[in-house]
Structure 1
Amino acid sequence: MERLNGADLYFETSGAVQGGAGGGNPPVVYLHGGPGYNSHSFRALFGERLDALGPAVYLDQRGAGRSGPLEETEQGADTLDLDTLVADVEAVREFLGAERIVPLGHGFGALVALEYARRWPTRTARVIVVNPWVHFPGLALTLLAEASARRGVPLDDPAGAVRARTPEGEYPPVGSARVEQAFSLLNARDLLNVLHFKDAPSRMHLEFADAEGQLSGAGEVQEALVNQGLWEFEYPPFLQDIVRPVFVIAGAHDRSSYPEQVQWLADLAGADVSVLDAGHYPWLDDEDAFAEALEDALRR
């Protein structure tokens, strides 16, 4: 636990991550999803394989996992946004003394990884994202479509009505309206489980790892980001600004990310895409295939 960028940030390291110029492979910095999840389950389930590929850092992002609560940060909960999360990663890199890093972002964490690479290209060797989320109104529509199908009701996208009643000059909260409608049809946990997991054993495997870690989800992180307009956020226009190599590892059974979210990175960032027979957490479904895809992304 270190006080960095005005927050108590918890992270674990493996290997020699302090290298400067000529100091060996740049460390991989794992950025979990959620938002507000943690790095425990990834390290517990796959850390040994990642550690074998070189130095690694497992970060619990601000307000999540074992890091300090948002209300104890200098910035407070009301100012939590992507800029702050990216600045935290840079603070960790600087503290460790690594010349460059490889951000490895999963789900929502892909957004943090990509923006770090865009903002700090000289500090980024390459960026790797797993089942990324980059277009949140689009993700909200995916959630609504699945919830409608599960309930056996026609898809009723509220986007048109929201735009019609939004005063001129204001941004229509289309994503929020879609999500609210989706979660009114099917609760968030059940809906995401349907979209994320290839099968029930994979879901149970992750739940056991979470139970072992005894880390509750950081609802305050989700709430803070939603209050900042998360469901309206469209990152694709920024993808064209990323100059470092981008690699995507996608699970064909993760319908929250593949193919729509992944396609944005292929089209706009020129990303190299590997598709595995897996869900949102590919290390659960095919650890060897995920390790091979990750090693390929790191070595190419």
Structure 2
Amino acid sequence: MDENGDLLGETYFEHLNGADLYFEVVPPANESETNESDETPTLIYLHGGPGYNSLTFRDLVGERLTAYRVIYLDQRGGGRSGPLEGTEQGSDTLDLDTLTADVEAVREFLGIEKLTPLGHGFGALIALEYARRFPAHTNRVIVVSPWVHFPDLALTLLEEASARRNVALDDPRAEVVARTPEGQHPPVGAARIEAAFGLLNARDLLNALHFRDAPSRMRLEFADVEGQLMGGAEVQQALVNQGLWEFEYPPFLAEIKKQVYVIAGTHDRTSYPAQVQWLADLADADVTLLDAGHYPWLDDEDEFIAALEEAVRR
């Protein structure tokens, strides 16, 4: 621990799975009492964004997670990890398969037998896919404010933008499907998001849907500025270039053999109720709802920690 009583972690900057990855491993408070047979859960935090970082979550709630070993990973291209290589092409270096393989590479490097993926927002996709692909190395999977169906999410954003501009909803789906050649995938999600951001800029639109109130938004913005990690645009564009807004994960949910736990805020309209319902219906997920927004630890830290502890220990 440091002079303030905060747990100190060991930081790594390693070239794994073809990328320079930054991650920090923070031991449990009782590490001196553990041994090789210790069953202390190891959580790996998979941040949202995409292209965000794990620093703000670590700074805001890390001191409340002292019962676990926690890995804070900055996903490739984001936070303190190395920049994407060949960003203009992007699709060759950034996809769900690659991001999931990065998590497995970190696990192998650290020599940890099992992980509990803890994914937030976009990071929920990585957490779920890791549990599906590597069940032998997964205890359970916990997702917070999950995004799993991006065409649906794009429609939610378009509906909100239309309402705020006081214009009728004009869903381009039918037009896109009609002009798409037979046998090709109609880019409905991309058309919806383009229409939404044409009505209202992305930041204002997401702020309107994410936060319960202004103080929560300001608290996150302050933490971001203090951490001086504001990037992510290259990662976001790379994912858009490879069809992020067409991605639909629900068909894979039934293949996950580990218990799925969902923590969601009822004020986060990007995730609740539509995205959460996919998990409840198809993954038989255990859902805990909080009076909170997209970042529930900002609105009620105690309730969020209690929900997380329940998900880890049940």
Aligned positions, number: 296
In structure 2, C-alpha distance between the alignment counterparts of 1:20 and 1:118, rounded to whole Å:
29
Q: Is the 8 A contact 1:26 1:98 kept in 2?
A: no
Query: In structure 2, what is the equivalent of residue 263 of structure 1?
Result: 277
Q: Is the 8 A contact 1:12 1:58 kept in 2?
A: yes
3-state DSSP class of the match of 1:77? coil
Once the two structures are superposed, residues 21-45 of structure 1 have per-residue CA deviations (whole angstroms, 9 ceiling, x without a partner) of 7332231000000000000110010
The within-5 A match list for 1:1-300 is 1-15=13-27, 22-50=37-65, 52-71=66-85, 77-79=90-92, 80-300=94-314
Q: Is the 8 A contact 1:21 1:99 kept in 2?
A: no
Q: Partner letter of residue 34 of structure 1?
A: G
In structure 1, C-alpha distance between the alignment counterparts of 2:312 and 2:133, rounded to whole Å:
20
In structure 1, C-alpha distance between the alignment counterparts of 2:35 and 2:165, rounded to whole Å:
55
Q: Is the 8 A contact 2:90 2:241 kept in 1?
A: no
Residue 72 (structure 1) shift: 7.4
Residue 20 (structure 1) shift: 9.5
TM-score (norm 2): 0.92
Structure 2: runs of 5 or more not aligned:
1-12
Structure 1: runs of 5 or more not aligned:
none
Q: Partner letter of residue 98 of structure 2?
A: T
3-state DSSP class of the match of 1:142? helix
Residue 101 (structure 1) shift: 0.2
In structure 1, C-alpha distance between the alignment counterparts of 2:116 and 2:265, rounded to whole Å:
21
Residue 254 (structure 1) shift: 0.1
Which region of structure 1 is more displaced relative to structure 2, 224-233 or 179-188? Answer: 224-233
- Shift of the 184–230 alpha-carbon distance from structure 1 to 2, 3 Å rule, reads same
Once the two structures are aligned, what percentage of the paired residues are identical?
72
Residue 78 (structure 1) shift: 3.0
3-state DSSP class of the match of 1:169? coil
Once the two structures are superposed, residues 103-134 of structure 1 have per-residue CA deviations (whole angstroms, 9 ceiling, x without a partner) of 00000000000000000001000000000000
- Shift of the 20–172 alpha-carbon distance from structure 1 to 2, 3 Å rule, reads farther
Q: Is the 8 A contact 2:121 2:147 kept in 1?
A: yes
Residue 262 (structure 1) shift: 0.2
Residue 228 (structure 1) shift: 1.0
3-state DSSP class of the match of 2:311? helix
3-state DSSP class of the match of 1:94? helix
In structure 2, C-alpha distance between the alignment counterparts of 1:284 and 1:242, rounded to whole Å:
30
CA RMSD in angstroms, aligned pairs only: 1.5
In structure 2, C-alpha distance between the alignment counterparts of 1:8 and 1:243, rounded to whole Å:
31
3-state DSSP class of the match of 2:51? coil
In structure 1, C-alpha distance between the alignment counterparts of 2:35 and 2:91, rounded to whole Å:
36
In structure 2, C-alpha distance between the alignment counterparts of 1:53 and 1:119, rounded to whole Å:
27
TM-score (norm 1): 0.96
Q: Partner letter of residue 12 of structure 1?
A: E
In structure 1, C-alpha distance between the alignment counterparts of 2:35 and 2:84, rounded to whole Å:
32
Once the two structures are superposed, residues 67-125 of structure 1 have per-residue CA deviations (whole angstroms, 9 ceiling, x without a partner) of 0001179xx73311000000000000111111000000000000000000000001000
In structure 2, C-alpha distance between the alignment counterparts of 1:264 and 1:140, rounded to whole Å:
15
Task: Give the structure with the larger helix fraction.
Answer: 1
In structure 2, C-alpha distance between the alignment counterparts of 1:21 and 1:259, rounded to whole Å:
42
3-state DSSP class of the match of 1:71? coil
3-state DSSP class of the match of 2:168? coil
Residue 162 (structure 1) shift: 0.3
In structure 2, C-alpha distance between the alignment counterparts of 1:254 and 1:9, rounded to whole Å:
30
